[in-house]
Amino acid sequence: MDSLSSDIRPAPLTVLGEDERLFYHSVFEFADREVRPLVRQMDEQAHLAEGLLPKLFDLGVMGIEIPETFGGAGASFFHSVLAVEALSRVDPSVAVLVDVQNTLVINALMRWASADLKRRCLPRLAANAVGAYALSEAGSGSDAFALTTRATPRDGQWVLNGRKLWITNGAEAEIFIVFATVNPEAGYKGITAFLIERGFPGFTVAKKEDKLGIRASSTCELLFEDCRVPGDHVVGEIGKGYKTAIETLNEGRIGIGAQMVGLAQGALEHATKYTKERKQFGKTIAEFQAVQHQLARAATEVYAARLMVYEAARLRDLGRPFLTEAAMCKIFSSEVAERTTSLAVNLFGGYGFVKDYPVEKLYRDAKIGQIYEGTSNLQLQTIAKQILR
């Protein structure tokens, strides 16, 4: 089956301003033109296509909130969310690279890094350097602060020892925000964020995971063996890394919500187009009421998920509380993505189960939405705490 043509547009984005609509469509048109022809190749090879990364930098989506004085676009968090959604309609693997770059790495540096670290790192992140965010460990997934990676002061520097797992962008990144404890006895109050660069002695990007979905997005193990880090590479305050982690991940969850919305929208478009072409019993399957109702329900859920994501992003940009909304949009959009991609596979029938057609990949890609940056159970716990206060 031919790939989805670029004349298909998403549900009307009536809640967006004119500049936001133009931005969204410009990113989608880039994805449709530059990314779509590479999707299957990247999925099979589990690697970004050569030459794609510089094009993302040229497009301006790798430094959306970075001020223009540092070479960035100087736009809003909401624009980052729009870029992630637009890219995810074509390939969620590419979208999550952009998502982590903006909503986690750049966001953390903008809010907590020293003026000197900003001056040194933000122009690189806007121009050609990929960033990664390293919190998870083998024993600290949902229990995010059960860290064993240790940072010890020595001769005006920090020496890190430990191991990080499942780090998105690990293969491509030049700049890493790494969380370690400076005092295990202090619990979460010993956690500190450090800025580490590829090439620091004692730092190794190790095994790349072979994943079910979003395969072109690298997910790597990081090793720290007496890794020496300059003393001024602390992001935020010593012992306050837990605050950096919590607040950044709350914002990152909105980005994951956008990824799931875009992914679901892409699957819905593929399914809708196919039902108008596939004929059974002398008519297209789109003419059957049962199919129409399934598509209608899916379209309603995708639209609702989109509005939830947009509301959370707007609240963030307004400086208003958004913790509950971020958790709600992540859990709902990830569930909608799984249901919508499953429906798309069903409507494609046997073709939906083979790699020659696009919905099989989107179905695999959707599963991660209920796992990373806070599992669905953690989102439910967050929501419950807020509504029961």
Taking the C-alpha atoms of residue 195 and residue 234, their distance in angstroms, rounded to an integer, is 6
User: 150 by DSSP, 3-state: which?
Assistant: strand
What does DSSP say about strands 219-230 and 157-168: parallel, antiparallel, or unpaired? antiparallel
Taking the C-alpha atoms of residue 159 and residue 173, their distance in angstroms, rounded to an integer, is 21
Taking the C-alpha atoms of residue 233 and residue 118, their distance in angstroms, rounded to an integer, is 11
Residue from 65, 251, 325, 373 carrying the catalytic annotation: 373
Question: Would you call 373 a catalytic residue per the annotation?
Answer: yes
Taking the C-alpha atoms of residue 147 and residue 137, their distance in angstroms, rounded to an integer, is 7
DSSP label at residue 66: S
39 Cβ contact list (under 8 Å, min separation 6): 3, 90, 91, 358, 361
Taking the C-alpha atoms of residue 319 and residue 302, their distance in angstroms, rounded to an integer, is 26
What does DSSP say about strands 131-134 and 175-181: parallel, antiparallel, or unpaired? parallel
Structure tokens at 365: 């890609």
β-strand partners of 224: 162, 203
Instruction: Let me know if 175 is exposed, middle or buried by CB neighbors in 10 A (0-12, 13-18, 19+).
Output: buried
Q: What angle do CA 183, 186, 189 make, to 5 degrees?
A: 95
Q: Would you say 264 and 341 are in contact if contact means Cβ atoms under 8 Å apart?
A: yes
Active site residues: 373
